[in-house]
């Protein structure tokens, strides 16, 4: 069959979509890659939208193209996909996950950073966990794509940067030392790609399933269940990372204030056959520990 593959046009998004196109071509499919400009891309000077913007801005136009049947399959960074999808669309597959951890560029470890080091990030989740671990750091917003941020690091605008290890790998960049997940819980879906299609398109769904990695799909399902349960947004610093341990699924979660002054961490184990149940269970535990009030306060602090 002929497949129209939709993606954002950023360097990272195209690298991800190219990987998927190559996998589909290996299956004997004829693939056309279509890049779509999204609201999240529209910034003066080509700068990417900050991660505190509405997450749907990165997928909205691509989803509209799916619904208009202009493309057949969308490739997203899974962490960009809101927990609630438009009617008629579904996540139909997840390929093998890359390293889900964050990576520190410019230093060997968080402990190696000198007091007062300027650390750049566009993520409230990273900011919250950086300041929770090292309140002496000067955490500042970093805008632009990966290459732009790394160039500014080299120019001395920052002493260090925190970026996604998977994004660096997709772009063939060798910078960055992975930060242990015990120190910084990754973003829900980080390291995963998500395939989105029309829910009634059985042919595309079956094709996506052939590229799907069960472990990655199970982990992402648990993480997205937590995000939905906490009603997390780009203005709420939330981390979630699930991984299989034998027949069990482990889910780590984080919620905190952007200034690192308060946070909640939790970890629980559940049945890998029901990842949604584990996500909901950890949600209930986090809410019982006060996560709702904490995240509401975090959102208000960002809105000011």
Is residue 98's pLDDT more than 80?
yes
CA 186 to the chain's CA centroid: 8
pLDDT band at 41 (very low <50, low <70, confident <90, very high): low
pLDDT in tens, 247-264: 899 999 999 999 999 999
Residue 41 annotated in active site = no
**Does 96 score more than 70 pLDDT?**
yes
Instruction: For the chain, list the domains and their CATH numbers.
Output: 2-97+192-212 (3.40.190.10), 102-178 (3.40.190.10), 223-303 (3.30.160.40)
Residue with tokens 């997928």: 59
Work out the average pLDDT over 224-244.
95
Predicted local confidence at residue 54, as pLDDT: 60
Mean pLDDT of 59-76: 96
Residue 46 scores a pLDDT above 50: no
Q: Tell me: the pLDDT tens digits for 277-291?
A: 999 999 999 999 999
Q: Which of 41, 54, 72, 80 is catalytic?
A: 80
Sign of CA dihedral 248, 233, 254, 287: negative
Give me the phi and psi of 162, to 5 degrees please.
-115, 120
55 or 226, which is more confident?
226
Higher pLDDT, 212 or 44: 212
Q: What does pLDDT average to over the chain?
A: 93
Read off the pLDDT of each residue in 7-23 and give the average, rounded to a whole number. 95
Checking if the pLDDT of 101 tops 90, the result is yes
Model confidence at 45: pLDDT above 70:
no
H/E run at residue 126: helix 124-133
Residue 79 has pLDDT above 80, yes or no: yes
Least confident of 39-48, 155-164, 206-215, 216-225: 39-48
Give CA 81 to chain center in angstroms. Answer: 8
Start-to-end Cα distance in the chain: 51
Mean pLDDT value of segment 180-201: 97
pTM: 0.92
Pairing of strands 248-256, 238-245: antiparallel
Q: How far is CA 53 from the centre of its chain?
A: 14
242 contacts 286 by C-beta, under 8 angstroms: no
Q: Does 286 or 38 have the greater pLDDT score?
A: 286
């Amino acid at each position: 069959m002929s497949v129209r593959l939709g993606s954002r046009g950023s360097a990272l998004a195209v690298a991800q979509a190219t990987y998927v196109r190559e996998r589909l071509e290996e299956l004997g499919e004829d693939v056309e890659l279509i890049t779509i400009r999204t609201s999240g891309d529209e910034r003066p000077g080509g700068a990417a939208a900050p991660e505190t913007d509405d997450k749907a801005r990165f997928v909205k136009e691509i989803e509209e193209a799916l619904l208009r049947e202009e493309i057949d399959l969308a490739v997203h960074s899974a962490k960009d996909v809101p927990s609630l999808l438009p009617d008629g669309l579904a996540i139909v597959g997840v390929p093998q996950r890359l390293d889900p951890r964050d990576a520190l560029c410019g230093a060997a470890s968080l402990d190696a950073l000198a007091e007062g080091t300027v650390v750049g990030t566009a993520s409230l989740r990273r900011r919250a966990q950086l300041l929770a671990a090292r309140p002496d750091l000067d955490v500042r917003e970093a805008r632009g794509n990966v290459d732009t941020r790394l160039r500014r690091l080299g120019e001395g605008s920052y002493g260090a940067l925190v970026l996604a290890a998977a994004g660096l790998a997709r772009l063939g960049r060798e910078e960055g030392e992975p930060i242990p997940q015990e120190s910084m819980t990754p973003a829900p879906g980080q390291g995963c790609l998500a395939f989105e299609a029309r829910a009634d398109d059985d042919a595309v769904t079956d094709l996506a399933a052939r590229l799907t990695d069960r472990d990655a799909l199970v982990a992402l399902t648990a993480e997205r269940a937590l995000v939905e349960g906490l009603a997390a947004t780009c203005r709420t610093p939330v981390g979630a990372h699930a991984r299989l341990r034998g027949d069990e699924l482990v889910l780590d979660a984080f919620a905190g204030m952007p200034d690192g002054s308060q946070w909640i961490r939790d970890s629980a184990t559940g049945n890998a056959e029901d990842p949604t149940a584990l996500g909901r269970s950890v949600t209930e535990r986090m809410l019982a520990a006060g996560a709702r009030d904490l995240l509401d306060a975090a959102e208000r602090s960002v809105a000011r």
